[in-house]
Amino acid sequence: MNKTIGVLGGMGPESTTKFYELLIEKYFKKKKDYAYPEIVVFSVDFAKIIKLQEEGNKKKYIAELMKGINALQKAGADFAVIASNTPHMVFEELSKLSKIPLLSIVKNTLDRAKKMKFRKLLLIGTKFTMQANFYHETFKPSGIEIVVPNLKEQKIINDIIYKNLFKSASKKKMIEIIKRYKVDGVILGCTELPLILTAKDLKVRLLDTLDIHAEATLEFALR
């Protein structure tokens, strides 16, 4: 029997919707039937999450995320995933508090990076993700170097994610920043970014964390 998937989403809603679509699409591609795993989604109050991130209130931030994870568990989820990168800066704390297993988007991305034999990767995402060290710490033992854009570029990327994601100039600016770095590949470390950047846009290879996380989530549900 398939496991029931719990998705902590809403950070933001567009990528959560895409994550759900990917789970369904990937299942049908694998199985060619309609016996999709049951999926429970808890969509957070995104404004509250952003406020707690900005304030650096780690204790309340964890409590707010745990409220959603506990709701998923009570709704029957056998395990849970967070359809966003930034909350993974407190993933270890959440895992210890959760009554159900949590799958890490960072560890799933590392597994893919190792298979693709990457040695040096550019990480782009929200300023919280780029300025935190959870990607660096996870990848370092495998000998994979993580670099991030400079502070000015980080602000541009963060503003694009939160304010101007779907403006035509945003994609062009993002590509300009990426091309400045000599790396093996780029981690799209925000689940909103695959909505505007694809493999066709760049010569350098991309690690689409949203797609990678959906693939790993489905595999775990069907295991």
Domain 5-104+211-222 and domain 106-208, same fold? Reply is yes
Asked whether residue 164 carries a pLDDT value surpassing 90, the answer given is no
d(CA 113, CA 126): 20
Number of H helices, E strands in the chain: 10, 8
d(CA 5, CA 217): 8
Cis peptide before 12 (omega within 30 of 0): yes
First to last CA, the chain: 9
The pLDDT value recorded for residue 114 is 98
Taking domain 5-104+211-222, whether its CATH number is 1.10.287.950 is answered by no
The pLDDT value recorded for residue 190 is 95
Q: Order the strands of the 79-82 sheet from edge to edge.
A: 39-43, 5-9, 79-82, 102-103
> CATH number of the domain at 106-208, please?
3.40.50.1860
The pLDDT value recorded for residue 35 is 96
Q: Give every CB contact of residue 17 below 8 A, 6+ residues apart in sequence.
A: none
Asked whether residue 168 carries a pLDDT value surpassing 90, the answer given is no
Q: Which amino acid is at 170?
A: S
Do the Cβ atoms of 146 and 139 come closer than 8 Å? yes
Query: For the chain, what percent of residues have pLDDT higher than 90?
Result: 96
d(CA 24, CA 221): 12
| Strands in 28-140 per DSSP E | 39-43, 79-82, 102-103, 120-124
The domain ranges of the chain are 5-104+211-222, 106-208
Asked whether residue 175 carries a pLDDT value surpassing 90, the answer given is yes
pLDDT in tens, 28-46: 999 999 999 999 999 999 9
Q: CA distances (Å), 140 to each of 119, 135, 136, 145, 220, in order?
A: 10, 8, 6, 6, 25
pLDDT in tens, 90-132: 999 999 999 999 999 999 999 999 999 999 999 999 999 999 9
Tell me which H or E stretch contains 163: helix 151-163
| pTM of the complete model | 0.95
Give DSSP secondary structure letters for 159-196. Answer: HHHHH-TTSHHHHHHHHHHHTTS--SEEEE-STTGGGT
Q: Give every CB contact of residue 205 below 8 A, 6+ residues apart in sequence.
A: 116, 118, 184, 185, 186, 199
